[in-house]
Amino acid sequence: MKKIISPQWFLFVLCIISTIIVSAQNTFKLGSGAIIKTTGGAVITLQDMNLDNDGTISQAAGEGVFKFTGTQNNSIGGISTSLFDVLEIAKTGSAKISLQRTINVGSAINFTSGLIDLNHNNLLLQSTALLNGESELSRIIGPTGGYIEITNTLNAPSSTNPGNLGAILTSSQNLGSTVIRRGHSSQINGFGIGSSILRYYDILPANNSALNATLRFQYLDAELNSFDENTVVLWKSPNNTTWTNLGFTSRNTTSNYVEKIGITDFSRWTLSSVNNPLPVQFLLFNVRCMGNGVLINWKTAQEQNSNYFNVERSPDGISWTTTGTLQAAGNSTIERTYSYNDNNPLPGGAMYRIAEYDVDGRIQYTSIIRSDCEAKDRWRLWPNPVQEMLWVNITATGASSATVKVFDSKGSLILSQHHALLPGTNQLNIDMKKLSSGTYHLTVEWGLGQMQKSVTVIKM
């Protein structure tokens, strides 16, 4: 039996044992009280159509497939929660299905082509359901939030990949009922900074201690979010706010995974680079000659779990010694200024940097500034080409303000920053990582407008 249904506002009970194709009026609307029941592996194909379910779609295993095709972006919504046996995405190119509410899948999600956008909603898999055929061009995305979830009982799992979500688990322990959620939004720390690849996992076992577990974290190149996959490591957060760099045991950029052994417990995990999300954000680093000494000033925009700062000095940029130590703020969301006076500077000048130590022993460094008491107004910019952070050194004879502007290749202003300069050498930072690759023009003006520099910057 084969039926063609004109999608409109209706109430019906439908039994299908073959195939139904619906391709009219843009929306397949199932009204309140209506039921779709399929048998025998029937296929309902929605070509360039939305599915709006206010009735009942509740398929058991083997009962059928809802298949979305066509070139247009469509959605799954309605006031009712649908349970699909098999959901198949066969859209052309990068066309996508956006979720307007949470849905359930009993057996499988099959990707042929096209995307599923979680759109801040959730996709819940029953315990034996699988993701099949995800690829760089056909996969789940969710930049605005939402997750795909499965719950399995894991007793001494060995390279177990529940739901084929890409979190592969091994442990000699009984983890019990374990919830695994996979999201696709970039992670930040509690101060709203930092970033990650466009994938994270919440791994929530009933038994979550002394696991001695291994996690193989899989990802797609399309989810790297401008990170170099040769540099990403595993980060863990117990509260989705504070992150700890756990490094990695092995990493394979061909098979696209990062693995860590000896894990004692699970929570939220993602991939990011070693210094990102950063515990401290430096705003200013300044070195100034004062009489027979050198005054070092630095300013932080925010701090998280900071312990102390070491002021380090080197005659050659290779061998470093600590000349002084200052206590850090610990946790702060406001600007804080620090100063240290090197009363016994090296003859002929020296290089300086600040090392920030976290409470867990991690270290973050500023860039390096050389003291030069004979210098007049001058500047230096590096690196160029740039991937993430651009640094500008300005040596000023007096206090003033500096304005940094970045223009795109069409001459449009896309970034403007203002900095206070102190006498001496000042270091400014310009965050370029969110800008697209291309050519930009940067101007810096300081000294009450009397000093201005302009340079072309290449963003990789």
Q: What is the mean pLDDT of the chain?
A: 86
Q: What distance in Å separates the CA atoms of residue 277 and residue 187, rounded to the nearest whole number? A: 8
> Which of 94, 125, 145 corresponds to the end of one domain?
145
Instruction: Select the more confidently predicted residue: 196 or 394.
Output: 196
The answer on 265 and 183 residing in a single domain is: yes
Instruction: Select the more confidently predicted residue: 296 or 446.
Output: 296
Confidence at 18, pLDDT banded by 50, 70, 90? very low
* pLDDT at residue 196, as a whole number: 92
CATH number at residue 383: 2.60.40.10
Decide if pLDDT at 213 tops 60.
yes
Decide if pLDDT at 353 tops 60.
yes
* pLDDT at residue 193, as a whole number: 63
Q: What is the torsional sign of CA 216, 220, 221, 227? A: negative
The answer on 141 and 5 residing in a single domain is: yes
The answer on 212 and 136 residing in a single domain is: no
Decide if pLDDT at 277 tops 70.
no
Decide if pLDDT at 8 tops 50.
no
The answer on 116 and 53 residing in a single domain is: yes
The answer on 233 and 316 residing in a single domain is: no
The answer on 160 and 245 residing in a single domain is: yes
Q: What distance in Å separates the CA atoms of residue 433 and residue 15, rounded to the nearest whole number? A: 54
* pLDDT at residue 333, as a whole number: 72
- Domain of 335 in residue numbering reads as 280-370
Q: Assign residue 70 a region: left if phi > 0, alpha if psi is -120 to 50, beta otherwise?
A: left
The answer on 395 and 358 residing in a single domain is: no
* DSSP string for residues in 186-197: ----TTS-----
pLDDT digits 0-9 by tens, 36-95: 989 888 999 999 999 999 999 999 999 999 999 999 999 999 999 999 999 999 999 889
The answer on 161 and 58 residing in a single domain is: no
Total domains, the chain? 4
The region of weakest confidence among 137-146, 192-201, 268-277 is 268-277
pLDDT digits 0-9 by tens, 400-447: 888 888 998 888 888 888 888 877 778 787 888 778 888 999 888 877
* pLDDT at residue 276, as a whole number: 62
Q: What distance in Å separates the CA atoms of residue 98 and residue 311, rounded to the nearest whole number? A: 52
The region of weakest confidence among 206-215, 329-338, 359-368 is 359-368
Pairing between β-strand 268-272 and β-strand 200-205 as defined by DSSP bridges: antiparallel
Please count the other Cβ atoms lying within 10 Å of the Cβ belonging to residue 299.
17
CA dihedral 23, 24, 25, 30 (to 10 degrees): -60
Instruction: Select the more confidently predicted residue: 322 or 454.
Output: 322
> Which of 326, 346, 370 corresponds to the end of one domain?
370
> What is the average per-residue pLDDT within 303-325?
88
* pLDDT at residue 274, as a whole number: 74
* pLDDT at residue 229, as a whole number: 94
Location of structure tokens 């040769």 = 230
The answer on 271 and 288 residing in a single domain is: no
The answer on 300 and 383 residing in a single domain is: no
Percent of the chain at pLDDT exceeding 70: 89
The answer on 303 and 257 residing in a single domain is: no
* pLDDT at residue 460, as a whole number: 80
* pLDDT at residue 52, as a whole number: 93
Q: What distance in Å separates the CA atoms of residue 457 and residue 288, rounded to the nearest whole number? A: 28
Helices (H), 100-183: none
Q: Which of 206, 149, 157 is nearest to 180 (CA)?
A: 149
Confidence at 4, pLDDT banded by 50, 70, 90? very low
Confidence at 259, pLDDT banded by 50, 70, 90? very high
Confidence at 7, pLDDT banded by 50, 70, 90? very low
Location of structure tokens 């998280």 = 304
* pLDDT at residue 1, as a whole number: 33
Decide if pLDDT at 366 tops 90.
no
> What is the average per-residue pLDDT within 382-396?
82
Pairing between β-strand 363-365 and β-strand 351-358 as defined by DSSP bridges: antiparallel
Please count the other Cβ atoms lying within 10 Å of the Cβ belonging to residue 358.
19
> Which of 337, 370, 403 corresponds to the end of one domain?
370
The answer on 364 and 382 residing in a single domain is: no
Decide if pLDDT at 354 tops 50.
yes
Confidence at 10, pLDDT banded by 50, 70, 90? very low
Decide if pLDDT at 299 tops 80.
yes
Q: Are residues 24 and 1 in contact, defined by beta-carbon separation less than 8 angstroms?
A: no
The region of weakest confidence among 264-268, 273-277, 346-350, 368-372 is 273-277
Q: Which of 360, 367, 376, 375 is nearest to 430 (CA)?
A: 367
